[in-house]
């Protein structure tokens, strides 16, 4: 029991407490669960939507063979994408109108000497119209081609338009856009959420004067190190969890082709976020030290909120040169570089350079924050100004 026969270094003891206290915090666990469910829910929604089968009942009047053929061809085409088109034969035009009115048919397709008509009780469904337009055209052309002794295929030969992508990227631009939104949002929520928790834990110790007991036992530098590392470990674990749920969810959707690229991008994001979070954590710890009561926190953490919000707003919409610049600037690089990796736009060295810049920035922020944290933490009575805390060590 002799003091001085220590079992672990102080920073490790502090780090352990931070992690244990957080894992035992019911409010935190609830928030975590809500976020996981939210991510799973979004993935689930896309998966459900991609499996959704549209069914249409198309009325065709008896004897209108051209229309019946067109619907059959359209149904065959739709079958590949998983849709359903059913022909509902009606006696005449009046019966077709009646079918539309009582909703036994969605649309009525009819051919005539003056052209084709797709009628609905209301405006016919847009995607059905887009589906039927080329089919109707083809049926018409086929009929005339046969009359002229040739065939549709002969006439149409060489008229196909094939799309081709030259940058070699395998990822749909829509996926990249969605990913940039998702990563920016994930960054913003995690940084603000975890940051506020650190600030609250610092001010809790300051307000209760526990910090005086702690400061008389171990150097405050070790306390800050333990807090920053403990919270960074939590943030890392949390983001790995979110990323895993996100990737598993993605694999269940139409975007499953993007999973390998997305996994690489998320891997970079997790690495960038973890390094960047060290800086965010140190700044929030400083903000906590500046407050003297929990009520002051809103004021002292406001500057960080503004910075993180700015990162969020600039990164999720950025592209072109702006995105390239942001992908190297510390803090915004956490979001922009992984997005560029995903779009296949970044060379292998680019994330490495951005990561080194981010690490250097984080180290600088930690040094400055550590000084302010020590200065402000033991000051009692009222809020301490940012400038006052940063001025002299």
Partner 1 sequence: MSTAHQGGDLEVRSLVRIFGTGDGAVRAVDDVSFRAPAGRLTGFVGGNGAGKTSTMRMMMGVLAPTSGETLFEGRPITAADRRAFGYMPEERGLYPKQPVLDQLVYLGRLRGVPAPAARAEILGHLERLGLADRAKDHVEKLSLGNQQRVQIIAALMGSPRALILDEPFSGLDPAAVDGMADLLREHTARGVPVLFSSHQLDLVERLCERLVILRRGEVVADGTPAELATRGTVRHRLVLSGDAGWVRSVPGVRAIDVDGPVALLEMSDDGAGRRLLHSALERGDVREFCPVRPSLTEIYREVAA
Residues that bind partner 1 (CB under 8 A): 1-8, 10, 13-14, 17, 20-21, 24-25, 204-205, 207-210, 212-219, 378
- The residue among 107, 104, 103 whose CA lies nearest residue 116 is 107
Q: Output the smallest distance, CB 4 to partner 1, in A.
A: 5
- Name which of 2 and 161 has its Cβ closer to partner 1: 2
Q: Name beta bridge partners: 59.
A: 88, 108
Could you give the 3-state DSSP secondary structure of residue 121? coil
Q: Output the smallest distance, CB 208 to partner 1, in A.
A: 3
Alpha helices in the chain (DSSP H): 10-23, 26-51, 65-81, 93-101, 126-147, 152-156, 173-207, 210-217, 220-251, 259-290, 297-317, 320-326, 333-342, 349-377, 386-391
- Name which of 205 and 323 has its Cβ closer to partner 1: 205
Q: Output the smallest distance, CB 16 to partner 1, in A.
A: 9
- Name which of 86 and 380 has its Cβ closer to partner 1: 380
Non-local (6+) Cβ contacts of 226 within 8 A are 10, 11, 12, 13, 14, 15, 17, 18
In whole angstroms, how far apart are CA 37 and each of 32, 45, 194, 206? 9, 12, 19, 35
- Name which of 143 and 204 has its Cβ closer to partner 1: 204
Q: Output the smallest distance, CB 297 to partner 1, in A.
A: 16
- Name which of 262 and 384 has its Cβ closer to partner 1: 384
Q: Output the smallest distance, CB 284 to partner 1, in A.
A: 18
Cα distance between residue 148 and residue 135, in whole Å: 20
């Amino acid at each position: 029991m002799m003091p001085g026969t220590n079992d672990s270094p102080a920073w490790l003891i502090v780090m352990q407490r931070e992690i244990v206290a957080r894992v035992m915090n019911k409010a935190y666990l609830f928030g975590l669960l809500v976020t996981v469910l939210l991510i799973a829910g979004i993935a689930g929604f896309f998966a459900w939507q991609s499996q959704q089968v549209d069914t249409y009942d198309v009325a065709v009047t008896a004897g209108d063979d051209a229309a019946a053929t067109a619907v059959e061809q359209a149904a065959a085409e739709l079958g590949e994408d998983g849709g359903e088109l059913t022909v509902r034969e009606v006696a005449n035009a009046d019966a077709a109108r009646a079918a539309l009115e009582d909703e036994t048919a969605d649309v009525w397709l009819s051919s005539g000497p003056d052209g084709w008509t797709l009628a609905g009780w209301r405006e016919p469904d847009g995607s059905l119209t887009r589906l039927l337009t080329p089919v109707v055209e083809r049926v018409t052309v086929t009929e005339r081609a046969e009359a002229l002794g040739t065939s549709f295929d002969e006439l149409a030969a060489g008229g196909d338009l094939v799309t081709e992508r030259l940058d070699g990227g395998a990822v749909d631009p829509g996926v990249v856009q969605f990913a940039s939104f998702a990563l920016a949002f994930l960054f913003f929520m995690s940084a603000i959420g975890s940051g506020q928790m650190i600030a609250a834990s610092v001010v809790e110790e300051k307000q209760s004067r526990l910090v005086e007991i702690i400061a008389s036992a171990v150097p405050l530098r070790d306390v800050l190190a333990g807090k920053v590392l403990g919270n960074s470990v939590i943030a890392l674990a949390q983001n790995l969890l979110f990323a895993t749920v996100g990737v598993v969810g993605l694999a269940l959707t139409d975007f499953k082709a993007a999973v390998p690229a997305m996994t690489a991008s998320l891997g970079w994001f997790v690495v960038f976020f973890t390094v960047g979070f060290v800086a965010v954590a140190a700044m929030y710890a400083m903000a906590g030290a500046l407050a003297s009561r929990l009520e002051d926190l809103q004021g002292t953490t406001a500057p960080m909120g503004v910075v993180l919000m700015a990162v969020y707003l600039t990164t999720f919409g950025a592209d072109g040169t702006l995105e390239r610049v942001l992908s190297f600037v510390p803090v915004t690089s956490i979001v922009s570089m992984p997005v560029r990796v995903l779009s296949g736009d970044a060379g292998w060295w680019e994330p490495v350079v951005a990561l080194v810049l981010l690490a250097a920035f984080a180290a600088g922020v930690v040094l400055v924050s550590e000084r302010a944290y020590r200065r402000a933490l033991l000051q009692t009575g009222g809020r301490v100004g940012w400038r006052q805390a940063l001025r002299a060590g």
